[in-house]
Amino acid sequence: MSNSFYITTPLYYVNGEAHLGHAYTTILADVLTRYHRLFGEKNVHFLTGLDEHGQKVSRAAASENKSPQDHCDQMAVLWKEVWKNLGIQYDDFIRTTEPRHEEVVTDILNEINKNDDIYQKEYEGWYSVYEERFFTEKDLIDGKDPILGRPVEKIKENNYFFRMSKYQDWLIDHYKNNPDAVIPSFRLNEVMGFLKQPLGDLCISRPKSRLDWGIPIPWDDEYVTYVWFDALINYYTATLAPPQGKTVIWPADYHIIGKDILTTHAVYWPIMLHAADRKPPRHILAHGWWLDKDAARMSKSDGNVVNPLDLAKKYGTDEFRYYLMREMVLGQDANFSEEGLVRRINSDLANDLGNLYSRLAKLWHKFDWGRLPQKGSYEDLIDEELNERILSLESRIKEEVINFRPHAAIEEIMQVVRGLNGHVEHWEPWKFTEDTLDLAFAMMGALDALYKVAELLEPVMPVKMAELKDRIYKGNQADRTMSPQLGKPLFPRINIKR
Ligand code: MSP
């Protein structure tokens, strides 16, 4: 058993602006991190960061008359601001231009080279600057990159190659022996399908004459390291040089990625590690894409991107996080629409959850239940089936989360919330004019169950659920002295303008 639980996001290209897909990947990692902490996992470590080398960065810096490093330094501040505004709490933020990373990349290159896994040859191919990778002539579709349809440039040069092909059989065996190394399983099937073809060797250098913004190839100062080879190593770097006071142990437990970068993570990366005599990651978790409401991929060039920060500002960070986690079935694509977001907030959060709390708090004050003795267990006043669901809720949520179904975990919690609303309607406390102890206890039972709900939703909505917990027990949950605070609605209803 390892004594760290290590979760990563991809390193985002430093140039870009954070879009919905980036926000989703990072929020998902944050939510899984918080759930694992809630479930008692010790030393959970969450890494994110920036991919700062390569042609794209060097071109962007030049167009702004800045040095690439200045450009990256300025962009890094903006990225950190984005994550702060989306409620992300990472343990480490790595940038590929940091010395700690450059050192590790240099060491790994030297090790692999020593094993004779690197050689030089002339190469001709079509390069996509956008994706920072080569395609062969036959890969192209209509003369463009076959994945995203972006322009490619013909390049012929002498480069260093990594003997990936040598490790193809090892990788196939590794996946046969570890079928949960890629999740969901249909993504592993894709990888295995890809591995049926002979694997080419990987071009891992760029001549400085074409690009000098990269980590130097240690034995040849005419070259820098290919940006993907450099960036993938970040996950390992962060274990050797974590921030002070933190420990993190290789291999990573979850690399969370989008399906578009599956090959680099599930083929190149494990082979790189194996060639350097390190263990492959335990699980690669590939999520689907966010598509627009007409099912088109969201991309800047198609003009259908949405800015996650604008959405979080308009509707609330926690509400936005809730929507992303509830709406996407991990592994599948999902459609984003602002109407869908508003509908979710109004139905789940304003109507079901927010309303349950405010009606209970109002009743409490109306009947002045605070003066009554408070007892610790109210189960007999909640119907048996609902009570069962409340008692088993935490273990069922854990089951869903560790099986990568956060949307289903949320849905189970919301079913309990709806059940509790039914419980209040069953008792009809508003019809009473005088005290009955049973009534008071039945409502305390509902509030206590709502506290459990808040605890279990806190990884998804950290600020709002901490507030709800605090309102129910006013910070006194340990001695179970309830004191539900009134105040503004937790989730105001959003009026939809037509
Ligand atoms: N820099 C590389 C990763 C290097 S990791 C060693 C990269 N960066 S990226 O900024 O382009 O994308 C990062 C993540 O955003 C990927 O996981 C990608 O899948 C995700 N998304 C980009 N567009 C997306 C959607 N439309 N929907 C969901 N996620 C998608 O790739």
Taking only the tens place, the pLDDT of each residue in 66-86 is: 999 999 999 999 999 999 999
Sign, CA dihedral 171-263-26-415, equals negative
Give me the mean pLDDT over the 216-227 stretch: 96
Nearest C-alpha to atom 12 of ligand 1 is from which residue? 12
Cα 379 from Cα 356, distance rounded (Å): 18
Token pair recorded at residue 144: 């463009």
Average pLDDT of span 401-406: 96
Distance (Å) from CA 496 to ligand 1 centroid: 32
Cα 257 to averaged position of ligand 1 atoms, centre (Å): 7
What per-residue confidence (pLDDT) applies to 180? 97
Asked if the model's pLDDT at residue 171 lies above 60, the reply is: yes
Domain with CATH 1.10.730.10 in the chain: 339-482
Question: Average pLDDT in the 12-30 region?
Answer: 95
Residues of the chain with pLDDT > 90, as a percent, come to: 78
From 56, 261, 298, mutation site for ligand 1 pocket: most ligand atoms within 8 A of C-beta:
261
Q: What is the Å distance from ligand 1's center to 10 Cα?
A: 7
Nearest CA to ligand 1 atom 30: 21
Q: Which residue has the higher pLDDT, 38 or 496?
A: 38
pTM of the model: 0.94
Give me the mean pLDDT over the 150-164 stretch. Answer: 94
Q: How far is the centre of ligand 1, averaged over its atoms, from the C-alpha of 18 (Å)? A: 10
Q: Does 418 have pLDDT greater than 90? A: yes
pLDDT (mean) for 412-437:
91
Residues contacting ligand 1 via CB (< 6 Å) = 10-13, 16, 21-22, 24-25, 51, 231-232, 234, 257-258, 260-261, 289-290, 297-298
Distance (Å) from CA 253 to ligand 1 centroid: 19
Q: Kindly give the number of the ligand 1 atom that is closest to the alpha carbon of 297.
A: 26
- Kindly report, residue by residue over 442-481, the tens digit of the pLDDT: 898 999 999 999 999 999 999 999 999 999 987 666 666 7
* Ligand 1 atom nearest 289 alpha carbon: 27
Query: Does 441 have pLDDT greater than 90?
Result: no
> How far does the centroid of ligand 1 lie from the alpha carbon of residue 133, in Å?
15
Residue pair 46/29 in contact (Cβ under 8 Å)? The answer is: yes
Cα(200) to centroid(ligand 1), Å: 24
- 274-321 residue pLDDT tens: 999 999 999 999 999 999 888 887 776 677 788 999 999 999 999 999
Q: Which fold has domain 4-287?
A: Rossmann fold (3.40.50)
Q: Which of 260-269, 336-345, 438-447 has the lowest mean pLDDT?
A: 438-447
**The pLDDT of residue 1 is above 60:** no
- Which residue's CA is the closest to the ligand 1 atom numbered 16? 258
pLDDT at 368 over 60: yes
Whether the pLDDT of residue 130 is over 50: the answer is: yes
Q: Looking at residue 293, what is its pLDDT?
A: 81
Question: Higher model confidence: residue 435 or residue 227?
Answer: 227
Model pLDDT, residue 68: 96
Asked if residue 325 lies in contact with residue 408, where contact means CB atoms within 8 angstroms, the answer is no
Interval 51-60 mean pLDDT = 92
CATH 3.40.50.620 in the chain: give the residue spans.
4-287
User: What confidence tens digit (pLDDT) does each residue in 482-496 have?
Assistant: 889 898 999 999 987
Least confident of 174-188, 225-239, 342-356, 465-479: 465-479
- Say whether pLDDT at 104 is over 90: yes
Question: Across all residues in the chain, what is the average pLDDT?
Answer: 93
Q: What is the pLDDT of residue 343?
A: 97
In the numeric block, the tokens 């996950």 are attached to 235
Cα 493 to middle of ligand 1, angstroms: 33
Write the residue with the smallest CA distance to atom 17 of ligand 1.
258
Question: What's the CA-to-centroid distance between 50 and ligand 1, angstroms?
Answer: 11
Q: How far apart are CA 274 and CA 278, in angstroms?
A: 5
- Nearest-CA residue for atom 18 of ligand 1: 258
**What mean pLDDT is predicted for residues 350-369?**
94
* Residue minimizing CA distance to atom 25 of ligand 1: 21
Q: What is the pLDDT of residue 295?
A: 80
Query: Among 226, 268, 289, which is best to mutate for testing ligand 1, by the most ligand atoms less than 8 A from CB?
Result: 289
| pLDDT of 12 higher than 60 | yes
Pocket perturbation via mutation, ligand 1, pick of 9, 19, 22 by most ligand atoms within 8 A of CB: 22
pLDDT confidence band for 376 (50 / 70 / 90): low
For 339-482, give the CATH class. Answer: mainly alpha
Atom 10 in ligand 1: which residue has the minimum CA distance? 12
* Cβ pair 269, 234 in contact under 8 A: no
pLDDT of 374 over the 80 cut = no
